[in-house]
Amino acid sequence: MQTPSRNTSIFDFHGRPPFLKALPLSLQHVLAMIAGVITPPIIIAGVVGATPAEKLLLIQIAVLASGICTLFHLYGVWKFGARLPAIFGVGFAYVPTLIAVGGQFGIEGILGAQLIGGITMMVVGYAIQYIRHLFPPVVAGTVVLVIGLSLYDISIRYMAGSGNVDAPDFGDPLHWLVGIVTLLTVLAASQFGRGVVKLSAIIIGIAVGYLLSLALGMVSFTAVVEAEWVALPEVMPFELEFHTAAIVSMVVICVINSVQTIGDLSATSVAGMNRELKTRELTGGLLGNGLTTAASAFFGALPTSTFSQNVGIVAMTKVISRAVLAIAGLFMILAGLSPKFGAIMTTIPYPVLGGATITVFGMITMTGIQLLIKDELSARNMTIVGLSLALSLGIAQVPSAIAQFPAMLQNLIGGAPIVVAAITAFVLNLVLPRTSLADEAREREAIARADAGQGVADALPSER
């Protein structure tokens, strides 16, 4: 009896390719997300006045939680977990709110509010099966489109040398040289390469950019030398405190992040798997993200979310093998348990990461457009998309325009165009009359007939 052959396809979610084939594809996911994982705890550590030891702890647990969270969503437990080729972890989405809460209530206030926010996210996850019709492609596509557009400045900041525009060497031509060489390498590998070279374009670009950075003296190994080899996580390294203002802010941002999760998961299924997102996958993703966000509070990890840059990698490469992403998750766990290993990954200069990810962010934007055209581009739908883009990106570009708003509202929408876009698209989809292209055509015909009739009446001689 012939034994069925093993599924080794990297283009099948259940495919299990050989380790050496999967390794470079996994590493590019790790390298794309690592800066996004470690930056939020670094920022929050500065806001709350954390000691150096507490700062290292926040970074370590963020990396570890990201790896565990990714594996949890890839394989799922009961009704929890998206079971899609998506990367989850501690990300940027919550940073403006965390800064506001941390500045007033410290890390303890953040973690206490985060616990309630995670529970709220699970409630949204349970309810989504009944309200999913409120998030058609025109809403989800708008969210994904704004996610892509709002990420461009991150890549440009990185290519210029730092996430901080006030850094003394920000915009140094050497930084741009490294970023552009990395970008050109990614483009060459993805467009002219074949086989594994084409699929591993991002990690090839990072490798070339890293070697150039080494030659230019832009890489420091100080953090690697000082890092410990092994460090285990602690339960309740910080106390949890519950403050009403902090909880309200966190609950709101967790609900908004649920909309981003809908967008990212929709983009993953449409661009990577060429199909619509299933309700079971969406429910599992939201339930799982809420659970990991709540559980992370007990270990000092910040809230979790989907990683849009990794959605872009899936869209660009079409590699959806769960095994490939699972290896990426295992690497993150290893990095979280071994600070020295994690420190090695943090030596990658910002210009290298910027040059490697800017094409990825472009793919996210195009995935949003793919979602949008699944609905008719009627005047109604174009109004929803256009107004959502105008308000969200306009406010993001002119933050002083909302300087007179309450502090809580400023923190909620000031640094997150995704929030404004999600709310605008959701509300407009509810209140605007549902008209199709056929309805609009009939309306124009009726107007034309009425005008023609009026013209005939005007041409007739008036009765005396």
Write down the residue that tokens 């095994």 correspond to: 323
Whole-number pLDDT of residue 377: 83
In contact, 417 and 308? CB cutoff 8 Å: no
Whole-number pLDDT of residue 416: 66
* Complete DSSP assignment for 272-317: IHSSPPPHHHHHHHHHHHHHHHHHHTTTTPPPEEE-HHHHHHHHHH
Picking from 167, 168, 180, the residue whose alpha carbon sits closest to that of residue 212 is: 180
Q: What is the pTM of this model?
A: 0.73
Q: How far apart are CA 61 and CA 38, in angstroms?
A: 10
In contact, 420 and 393? CB cutoff 8 Å: no
Whole-number pLDDT of residue 460: 61
Whole-number pLDDT of residue 464: 44
Q: How far apart are CA 269 and CA 281, in angstroms?
A: 10
Cβ atoms within 10 Å of 78's Cβ, excluding its own = 8
Whole-number pLDDT of residue 300: 92
Whole-number pLDDT of residue 457: 66
Write down the residue that tokens 């661009």 correspond to: 271
Instruction: Render each residue's pLDDT in the chain as its tens digit; 464 residues.
Output: 445 577 889 999 999 999 988 998 898 888 778 767 877 887 788 778 888 778 878 888 999 999 999 999 999 999 999 999 999 988 766 776 787 788 888 999 999 999 999 999 999 999 888 887 887 888 888 887 887 787 788 788 888 887 667 778 888 899 999 999 999 998 898 888 887 777 778 888 888 999 999 999 888 888 788 778 888 888 888 999 998 878 887 887 788 778 778 888 988 898 888 888 898 999 999 999 999 999 999 999 999 988 877 888 888 888 999 999 999 999 999 888 988 876 776 787 889 888 887 887 787 788 788 878 878 888 899 999 999 999 988 888 887 888 888 776 776 676 567 778 888 998 999 999 888 888 778 888 888 887 777 766 666 665 54
Q: How far apart are CA 312 and CA 87, in angstroms?
A: 11
Picking from 394, 414, 116, 426, the residue whose alpha carbon sits closest to that of residue 263 is: 426
Whole-number pLDDT of residue 158: 83
Whole-number pLDDT of residue 1: 45
Tell me the β-bridge partners of 77.
80
In contact, 152 and 312? CB cutoff 8 Å: no
